[in-house]
Amino acid sequence: MKKQLTPIHRLNGTIKVPGDKSISHRSVMFGSIAEGKTTINGFLTGEDCLSTISCFKKLGVNIVQDGEHVTVEGSGISGLKQSSDDLYVGNSGTTIRLMLGILANTSFSSVLTGDESIAKRPMNRVTKPLREMGAEIEGNEEGNKVPLHIKGGNVKGIHYHSPIASAQVKSAILLAGLQGEGTTSVTEPLKSRDHTERMLEAFGVELKSDNLTVSIDGGQQLKGTHIEVPGDISSAAFFLVAGAIVPESTITLQKVGLNPTRTGILDVLHDMGAEISYENVNEEASEPYGDLVVKTSSLKGTVIEGDVIPRLIDEIPIIALAATQAEGETIIKDAQELRVKETDRIETVVNELQKMGAQIEATEDGMIIHGKSPLKGASVQSYGDHRIGMMLSIAACLAEGETTLDQSEAVAVSYPSFFDQLQRLSNP
């Protein structure tokens, strides 16, 4: 669907961004393999998380969703039943990779598949270690691409040194290890988001985390619990940048998740000179959260590299837009993982922002942006990638003239109310 976007001169008001996508997925998955009832508040009703609900329903779990409130009746991992249909994950990398870990030790076989974007994304990062643990997995390109056929084996613990910092890889292995014989540990080169570890603990599982290594003993049973999902900082990121670069703006974002493995965007925007303040912070919750207030700011270029990258990997498209409006040069390095997301996000960000007049070039593992450049309306594409669609919509606020965004419907993957909230902030 093509959407016409016109410039917006100021953004003011208060919004509550939708629930965190990573936490919403995990709440349904862990509720489905726990004994007893799990209740979830603040669940993200984006398409990716609805795919997770649909897959677990096909595996026989009773799940009732009423807007942002979800109830899951789990009967333990052995309560999952073979699905007569393929498990279709839509656009969601998190759903397919974590489910492979959950299905690694089941007594039945399953077929997992997804949309065009999922068909291009590499799965051997999880199928390789899961096979080493004993799962039988077959698929295109020797198990690297969907459709994947998985048959649970007799999973055994493994000590895995992951070549990449990835929460999906870490989580898939820990979820398989939970059902296996002995201890499983995963060591990463840099720390990735730790929602799996925090939430497994809330479900009564014991884990050991020691800097870059997490270990879990097999044979532990999850017990149903209540999960409060905070707002998604990856969704808030679009309005943090919009508030900083659109003139005469002040935006308050309520109850945004502030897990330190996800707050790299706040560190980088702070370094660039953005005025962001915190209110009502709750550090005691298993997932900390607080309100964020952003005001129009003068930004300057920066260098983004090394261990901050996993803490802001999904925010790089919108950070690139902020950099087009910052004085001087911004260099983003060590971000080659962007090439295997919903799209090759180095290529899509650079191509589409260039069409709008940005001075931006791609490198093998990131991009270089020269600011500050005026943007002009253009005909642009999300390529079906929700984060590219939202970044371009914020760019259109600043551009001179009208912008046409093709495949704008992609934003519903993680942020169904995005255009309504943008509209509300522009007409306070």
User: 27, 110, 192, 249: which one contacts ligand SPQ (CB under 6 A)?
Assistant: 192
Rule CB under 6 A: is residue 259 a binding residue for ligand SPQ?
A: no
Residue at shortest CB range from ligand SPQ: 93
Tell me, yes or no, if 217 is annotated catalytic. no
What are the tokens at 80?
């999952």
Q: How far is the CB of 362 from ligand SPQ (least distance, A)?
A: 18
Q: Which of residues 379-398 bind ligand SPQ (CB under 6 A)?
A: 387
Beta-bridge partner residues of 159: 185
- Our CB check for ligand SPQ shows the closer of 171 and 249 to be 171
Q: How far is the CB of 311 from ligand SPQ (least distance, A)?
A: 11
What are the tokens at 237?
């990121």
Q: How far is the CB of 340 from ligand SPQ (least distance, A)?
A: 8
Q: Which of residues 72-91 bind ligand SPQ (CB under 6 A)?
A: none
Q: How far is the CB of 334 from ligand SPQ (least distance, A)?
A: 13
User: 27, 51, 94, 325: which one contacts ligand SPQ (CB under 6 A)?
Assistant: 94
Q: How far is the CB of 391 from ligand SPQ (least distance, A)?
A: 11
- Please identify, among the stretches 53-61, 92-100, 176-184, 250-258, the one whose residues bind ligand SPQ according to the rule CB under 6 A: 92-100
- Our CB check for ligand SPQ shows the closer of 191 and 341 to be 341
Q: How far is the CB of 152 from ligand SPQ (least distance, A)?
A: 22
Terminal Cα distance for the chain, rounded: 27
How far apart (Å, rounded) are the C-alpha atoms in residues 91 and 88? 9
- Our CB check for ligand SPQ shows the closer of 152 and 314 to be 314
Rg for the chain (alpha carbons), in Å? Answer: 21
Rule CB under 6 A: is residue 166 a binding residue for ligand SPQ?
A: yes
User: 343, 414, 421, 426: which one contacts ligand SPQ (CB under 6 A)?
Assistant: 414
How far apart (Å, rounded) are the C-alpha atoms in residues 213 and 226? 27
- Our CB check for ligand SPQ shows the closer of 372 and 386 to be 386
- Our CB check for ligand SPQ shows the closer of 3 and 25 to be 25
Run of H or E residues at 30? helix 21-33
- Our CB check for ligand SPQ shows the closer of 191 and 387 to be 387
Q: Three-state DSSP class for 229?
A: coil
How far apart (Å, rounded) are the C-alpha atoms in residues 91 and 349? 19
Q: How far is the CB of 266 from ligand SPQ (least distance, A)?
A: 17
Q: Is residue 262 packed enough to be buried (19+ CB in 10 Å), middle (13-18) or exposed (0-12)?
A: buried
How far apart (Å, rounded) are the C-alpha atoms in residues 322 and 300? 9
Residues 6+ apart with CB under 8 A from 37: 71, 72, 73, 74, 224
Number of residues that bind ligand SPQ (CB under 6 A): 16
What are the tokens at 44?
């993200």
- What DSSP designation does 18 have? P
Q: Three-state DSSP class for 89?
A: coil
- Our CB check for ligand SPQ shows the closer of 348 and 421 to be 348
Q: Which of residues 272-291 bind ligand SPQ (CB under 6 A)?
A: none
User: 90, 93, 177, 371: which one contacts ligand SPQ (CB under 6 A)?
Assistant: 93
How far apart (Å, rounded) are the C-alpha atoms in residues 395 and 350? 13
* Active-site residue, from 48, 115, 232, 314: 314
What are the tokens at 233?
């900082």
Cβ proximity of 43 and 24 under 8 Å: yes
Beta-bridge partner residues of 160: 186
Q: Three-state DSSP class for 37?
A: strand
Q: Is residue 210 packed enough to be buried (19+ CB in 10 Å), middle (13-18) or exposed (0-12)?
A: exposed
Q: How far is the CB of 196 from ligand SPQ (least distance, A)?
A: 7
- Our CB check for ligand SPQ shows the closer of 314 and 352 to be 314
User: 15, 22, 115, 332: which one contacts ligand SPQ (CB under 6 A)?
Assistant: 22
Q: Which of residues 310-369 bind ligand SPQ (CB under 6 A)?
A: 313-314, 341-342
How far apart (Å, rounded) are the C-alpha atoms in residues 183 and 155? 11
Cβ proximity of 64 and 28 under 8 Å: no
Q: Which residues bind ligand SPQ (CB under 6 A)?
A: 21-22, 92-94, 166-168, 192-193, 313-314, 341-342, 387, 414
Active site residues: 314
